[in-house]
Amino acid sequence: MRFVWWVGLFWATPSWGLPALDQARAELRALDYPAAEKALKAAATATGLTRAEALEFYELKALTAAGLNRMAEAREAFTTLLSLDPTFKLKGKPAPRITTTFFEARSAAREHGALEARVTTQPTSGRVGPVQVKVSDAARLVRTVVAELEAEGVTRSVELPPTGGTIDATGRTVRVRVTLKGERDWVLSTLEPIGFEAPAMPAVVTPTTASPTISEPVVVAAPRFRPLAYTLAGVGIATLATAVIFGVQAQNARVALQGTELTRTQALALAPQAVQNATIANVLMIAGGVLVTSGVVTFLLGLPPPPVAIVPTASGVLVAGGFSW
């Protein structure tokens, strides 16, 4: 048991700064727990311990209490240590009862949460601020929050309550360094400097009113089909006229066949001609109607579209036009 204790303490990180801590470490290596406890009581009254010294104090306090078989006190010291440094691990090969107490303390520290501080801000156009500092301290170890601000080349220090607070910061860029201090100004945690930069000012746009201008009429070009229309209509009318001529001849032949002046031989020769003329007349009448209709449709398709004028106005755009025949 004594050998195990020696191995565990041999690798403890020395502070080399506070004589009381050096004395407590030496007494603990010698397994003189009462003397180590006396040295730790002297160290507890010191002011301004660094974070490294504070962590070593709670480590030595937990091991000394365990050596005196005060496991509840050891568990409390381990819990405080793990709240300050969740990554801490036991050194060497400590006794099983110390390991068990350490694991119990780690579970308690995880349940309550580690000591931490968050720094946020909501930059506005041209400036940073205000800066908010929020401290999470379930173990109630923090007594003072010190924020060092650097803005526009000017550095100042602000003290806040243990839970944090709001700092008025002005400037394009602001750097903040936060230190959490416990009793007797012990440094419990120090955040790395955090920099904030305000967004650029938006460009100022002067509204302008554009004078309305009237554009030239826009005419959409269309294919010209009037010559073709005239040709179709003309051919159609000529075809209709020819159909009328053949129709008249067929009608005359029919009238002649109904008379009594023709001989049988003449009637037999005139009948096929009458039928032929009637057929030609019907075909030409249909063809002429189709040609005339096509000519009219082509003429209508070849009409030019009406001119369109586009005029910008203060409230929009005015479009004007008309029909052209």
Are the beta carbons of 199 and 125 closer than 8 angstroms?
yes
Are the beta carbons of 146 and 181 closer than 8 angstroms?
yes
Given a cut of 60, whether residue 220 has pLDDT beyond it is: no
Q: Which amino acid does the sequence have at 289?
A: G
Q: Per residue in 10-39, pLDDT tens?
A: 334 444 468 999 999 999 999 999 999 999
The Cα–Cα gap between 97 and 158 comes to 44
Q: Per residue in 296-324, pLDDT tens?
A: 777 777 666 555 555 555 555 565 555 44
Q: What is the pTM of this model?
A: 0.56
- Burial (CB count within 10 angstroms: exposed 0-12, middle 13-18, buried 19+), residue 169: buried
- pLDDT the model gives residue 84: 94
Give the closest residue to 104 by CA, choosing from 143, 68, 77.
Answer: 77
